[in-house]
Structure 1
Amino acid sequence: MIDLYVYYKVREPDAAALAPRVRAMQAALAAGHRVAVQLKRRPGSKDGLQTWMEVYPGAPDGFEAVLAQAALDAGLDPLPDGPRRTEIFVDLKPELMPCA
């Protein structure tokens, strides 16, 4: 299992058009792949841009490719200002955690 974090910038005028597309994509992914989904954004904006983050905790290995195709199918590419950046995290094994 992995946790995926996808972040990107959104121009304020495009936010209203992008939000329903992302939510529909996430609903389809949640139903079809049994993944938890979250959509977040930083408070406020800077230079007319908002920072958004999609979170997929506990996703199966290989889900990154599924998500990339889903974003393409949902027509998300033209709306973010710049690339969608994906980060993958895994749980830290207990034996690797420092002792207190």
Structure 2
Amino acid sequence: MDLYIYYRVPAAQTRQLHGKIKALQAVLQGRFGIAGGLKRRPGEQDGLQTWMEVYEHIAPGQEEDFSRALERALDDAGVAGLIEGPRHVERFEDVATCA
């Protein structure tokens, strides 16, 4: 299972948010072995950037614990106060090939 989480960030908050996200991703990687990625859409619109966190290869049975730990880490870091609007979470799984 992979998680793709996107949200909008005011340009003035990007430096502070970047540090918080990378720090919590390092903690989660140490705990779960899942390396998080951070991307952004090129450019800005109305002073906002679109960012995306990516968490790939979450093992079956691990998603619920990982998602709860991620939410706690976000709350502890005060991320909600640095973004504009909600975080949108999308879940994807690999397509199994038929033999």
Q: TM-score, with normalisation over the residues of structure 1? A: 0.88
Alignment-mate amino acid for residue 83 of structure 1: P
- The residue that corresponds to 2:67 in the other structure is 64
Structure 2: gaps spanning 5 or more residues: none
**What is the CA–CA distance in structure 2 between the aligned matches of 1:65 and 1:89, rounded to whole Å?**
18
SS class of match (1:82): strand
Contact 2:26/2:35, CA 8 A, preserved across alignment: no
Tell me the percent identity.
Answer: 44
Runs of 4+ in 1 over 4 A off after TM superposition: none
Larger radius of gyration: 1
1:91 aligns with 2:94: yes
Structure 1: gaps spanning 5 or more residues: 96-100
Q: TM-score, with normalisation over the residues of structure 2? A: 0.89
Number of aligned positions between the proteins? 94
RMSD: 1.0
**Alpha-carbon deviation of 1:61?**
2.4
- The residue that corresponds to 1:98 in the other structure is none
Which is helix-richer, 1 or 2? 2
